[in-house]
A = this chain, B = another copy of it.
Amino acid sequence: MKKLINSADSVVTDALRGLAAAHPDLRVDVKNQFVARASGPRRGKVGLVSGGGSGHEPLHAGFVGYGMLDAACPGEIFTSPVPDQVIAASSAVDGGAGVLHVVKNYTGDVLNFGMAAELCADEGVEVATVVVDDDVAVRDSLYTAGRRGTGATVFVEKIAGAAAEAGAPLAEVRRVAEEVNSRSRSFGVALSACTTPAAGVPTFELGDDEVELGIGIHGEPGRTRSAMRGARELVRVAMDALHEDMPLDGDVLVMVNGMGGTPLIELYVAFAEVAAYLEEKGATLSRNLVGDYITSLDMQGFSVTACLLTPELTRLWDAPVQTPALRWGR
């Protein structure tokens, strides 16, 4: 394993120092391990706080800024943040209108954010929570921890962030966040495993002719291992999984997301197939993102996330945003 790091133990704090040096718009609290807007909370604006394990960059810290998150709490690599981080961040960004926690549905995230929310309430910070669970590879049943939260997190953070920026109250921001989540689905495919600095070896071994279908974002193996195929066929597997769960129709926001080690040219190859698929189904490719937005360290592969837009969601998606990883309109 070769990584551009100083040591496995310091990678998260070293990266936070880099983030601070690169983005004067961000306030990076290395000690309490959270990242917030340097401008501080705005009186009367709902605060948006997210977080999760590190290794998914630019998620979440790359989405802190005008029109999106107020703060992000990066945990250790692939490890949910601890409640203290979330409490510190929530207190730091509360403008008196309460704070929405955007939590990806993983046991660890749900537990740690849950504990933090209880303690925030004790400290007088009103907290609402949206749990993102968009991954159709996992059946939501009594026999799983429920669907995982993956790509839709980016959509929820952008769209709920725009609602909060526009002055919507906490209940309304949560409603919008939940609407985005309920209208979004994701599916991921790995061409290779990833290597965490702590483990030092790939999380699984894949043959040259194999792929993992239905992966999450933590380097776990997927639901099934399958034969390697061309981009067209792999995209079809992913899109069929989305379409079966939620018929793709009307205006669709689509993200073709790289897992961290996938060349951008390949993501565009995949995006061409996604566009063709949508056309075949009669859906309209209305808005899109192509690139690395929610990654798994150095994993090669991609995920597709689709959100069925409404006029309101489209308007909020188009609203100005100014963060390290997503920026338009200002």
Contacts and interface: CB of A to CB of B under 8 A. Distances in A.
B191 A263 contact: no
A259 to B, nearest CB: 10
A269 B15 CA distance: 4
A31 interface: no
A16 B275 CA distance: 13
Interface stretch (A120-128, A228-236, A310-318): A228-236
Copies of the chain in the assembly? 2
Contact of A298 (B11, B261, B295, B324): B261
A288 to B, nearest CB: 5
A290 to B, nearest CB: 5
Contacts of A271: 18, 21-22
B263 A55 contact: yes
Interface in A267-314: 267-275, 285, 288, 290, 292, 295, 297-298, 300-302
Given A22-B288, A231-B14, A4 B261 contact: no
Size bin of chain A's contact surface: 35 or more
A17 to B, nearest CB: 4
A328 interface: yes
Interface string A220-238: 0000000010111010000
Given A231-B14, A272-B21, A5 B266 contact: yes
B208 A6 contact: no
A12 B272 CA distance: 12
Given A1-B208, A6-B269, A271-B18, A58 B230 contact: no
Contacts of A270: 4, 18
A265 interface: yes
A5 B266 CA distance: 6
Nearest to A62: B264
A263 B22 contact: no
A260 interface: yes
A6 B269 CA distance: 8
B263 A263 contact: no
A175 interface: no
A260 to B, nearest CB: 5
A162 to B, nearest CB: 17
Contacts of A228: 2
B264 A57 contact: yes
12 contacts: A2-B191, A4-B270, A7-B230, A15-B265, A15-B266, A17-B272, A18-B269, A21-B274, A21-B285, A261-B263, A264-B295, A292-B292
